[in-house]
Amino acid sequence: MKTHKHQIVIIGGGTGGIMVAAQLLKARKGLDIAMIEPSGTHVYQPAWTLVGAGLMKKSATLKNEKRFIPKKVSWIKEYVENIDPDSMEVTLRSGDKVAYEYLIVAPGIQINLDGIEGLKEAYGKNGVCSNYVDPDYTWEVIRNFKDGVALFTMPAGPIKCPGAPQKIMYLAADYFIRKGLDKAHVAFATPGTVIFGTEPFRSELKNYLHKYNVSRRYGYKLYKIDGEAKEAYYTRLPLPENKTDYVINDERNAAGCIAFVWEEGQKHVVEEENCHIDELQENTHFVIKYDMLHLAPPQSAPSWFQNTKLANQEGVNKGWMAVDENTLQSRLYKNVFGVGDVTDLPTARTGAAIRKQAPTIVDNLLKVMDGKDADYKGYDGYSSCPLVVAHNRMLLAEFKYEGVRSSDPLLSKFLDTGKASYAMWLMKRYGLPFLYWNVMLKGYKF
């Protein structure tokens, strides 16, 4: 067993880890930084939406990690298995330890295929796909879809890029139209109660839901998949007082849906054609029969991280890293900061959010190293979601804490970011990947 020692240790060399490392080295020369990252490949995940719709090759989203870990950073190509913030030590899978003075935690999010009954068995065959796991298989499923119900669904609980499950739905619907599949019925089922929280993006998305005749199911919580029977099982959550519709269809009903109640262990079908059954009692369950199913699996902080003292021990944020909402300092240990998907920040987990988190961490970490307080409250919850709604249209939803719109003033001078446009599509397809690889990962701020 070896013990390495470094002044600053960064766990994870994904979007957050690399951006913080690169910006730190630009801000101060001579820092001794180690990065613990097991993978030799860096993934540009935002483009997986396009890969899943056949609009980009997966190979274009993967690059050699070595190109992005700054040369002055020591790369430890290993998995972290524990953090002891009291002894300021990280334990690796090999059993080696890495001692630190300051720690940045950025190991991302964990995809839990076992978080829904039957998902693990169903995934990857019979039309059950996910851009969160393998966008190439999503494209295979979409490309081979002939007609019937194409169901897109969200899990309960936080996930990375919560807009991604609906982006692939718009792209699939657009593809079905272009291919002349007029019998395709597209459905979207979500435990949420709105398609998007912030205006004017919500209204613009509704235009596309209408255009594609998407049947929406709100308050629908997926709990089981029967991959062989091609059935997705839902319970319905209580809707807020001002909402009455669990199901919103446009001109025609889209997905076939069966509702049933359990009585003495028996399943009784109560209605077969649609799900306008608001008067049914609480123990009613709903089955949507699908021909293809795209889902976002449930997600959490990595299991090993949840067992560390840096994670919230209870409450709704249990397991996520406890950080200050504005400074990104650990709420429990002053020499530790968190960035990206692993944190408990009440905003959408995206790479765009990290773009605004990284400078705040750098500023505050250097302050702590200089014996000062981490008092730069630079992060306001900014996150953004490039909502691709067709193979040549995108709108850019930018917001901060509480879902308040926070569109970039410079960009807004030239473009109406709340309206889907071809110019913004070009930004998604070409501009953002270029900025990611050449600007953000190199430590430049913009």
Instruction: Tell me which stretch binds ligand FAD (CB under 6 A): 226-234, 264-272, 279-287, 335-343.
Output: 335-343
354 touches ligand FAD (CB under 6 A): yes
Query: Which CB, 8 or 36, lies closer to ligand FAD?
Result: 36
Q: Indicate which single residue of 158, 219, 386, 433 sits in contact with ligand FAD (rule: CB under 6 A).
A: 386
CB-based contact 233:119 (threshold 8 Å):
no
Instruction: Tell me which stretch binds ligand FAD (CB under 6 A): 224-232, 237-245, 264-272, 350-358.
Output: 350-358
Residue nearest to ligand FAD (CB): 14
Q: Which two tokens stand for residue 408?
A: 């970039």
Q: Is the peptide bond before 191 cis (omega within 30 degrees of 0)?
A: no
Least separation in angstroms between residue 424's CB and ligand FAD is 12
Number of residues that bind ligand FAD (CB under 6 A): 35
Nearest to 54 by CA among 208, 182, 196, 179: 179
389 touches ligand FAD (CB under 6 A): no
Q: What are the two backbone dihedrals, phi and then psi, of residue 371, each rounded to the nearest 5 degrees?
A: 80, 15
Query: Which CB, 161 or 258, lies closer to ligand FAD?
Result: 161
The residues, any chain, with a CB within 8 Å of residue 214's CB and separated by 6 or more, are: 169, 173, 186, 187, 188, 250, 254
Of 129, 257, 275, 385, which residue is the catalytic one? 385
For residue 338, the SS3 value is strand
37 touches ligand FAD (CB under 6 A): yes
Query: Which CB, 219 or 381, lies closer to ligand FAD?
Result: 381
d(CA 139, CA 51): 7
Does the annotation count 257 as an active-site position? Answer: no
CB-based contact 50:139 (threshold 8 Å):
no
Least separation in angstroms between residue 147's CB and ligand FAD is 26
Site string for ligand FAD, 283-322 (x = CB under 6 A): -------------------x--------------------
Binders of ligand FAD in range 55-94 (CB under 6 A):
79-80
Least separation in angstroms between residue 101's CB and ligand FAD is 19
Least separation in angstroms between residue 264's CB and ligand FAD is 43
The residues, any chain, with a CB within 8 Å of residue 203's CB and separated by 6 or more, are: none
The residues, any chain, with a CB within 8 Å of residue 31's CB and separated by 6 or more, are: 7, 8, 24, 25, 72
Does the annotation count 161 as an active-site position? Answer: yes
User: How many Cα atoms are found within 13 Å in the side-chain-facing hemisphere of 42?
Assistant: 20
Task: Using alpha carbons, list the distances in angstroms from residue 242 to 200, 239, 316.
Answer: 20, 8, 24
16 touches ligand FAD (CB under 6 A): yes
| Residues in a beta bridge with 232 | 225, 288
Query: Which CB, 39 or 64, lies closer to ligand FAD?
Result: 39
Q: Indicate which single residue of 22, 46, 258, 425 sits in contact with ligand FAD (rule: CB under 6 A).
A: 46
d(CA 296, CA 155): 6
155 touches ligand FAD (CB under 6 A): no
User: How many Cα atoms are found within 13 Å in the side-chain-facing hemisphere of 116?
Assistant: 28
14 touches ligand FAD (CB under 6 A): yes
Least separation in angstroms between residue 152's CB and ligand FAD is 13
349 touches ligand FAD (CB under 6 A): yes
Of 129, 161, 257, 275, which residue is the catalytic one? 161
Q: Which two tokens stand for residue 388?
A: 């691709």
- Cite the DSSP H helix spans in 289-400: 303-306, 351-369
Query: Which CB, 24 or 287, lies closer to ligand FAD?
Result: 24
CB-based contact 112:253 (threshold 8 Å):
no
Binders of ligand FAD in range 161-180 (CB under 6 A):
161, 164
108 touches ligand FAD (CB under 6 A): yes
396 touches ligand FAD (CB under 6 A): no
Q: In what order do the strands lie in the sheet with 266-271?
A: 220-226, 231-236, 284-289, 257-263, 266-271
Residues catalogued as catalytic? 161, 385
Residues at the contact surface with ligand FAD, assessed by CB under 6 A: 11-17, 36-39, 45-46, 48-49, 79-80, 106-108, 131-132, 160-161, 164, 302, 340-342, 349-352, 354, 386
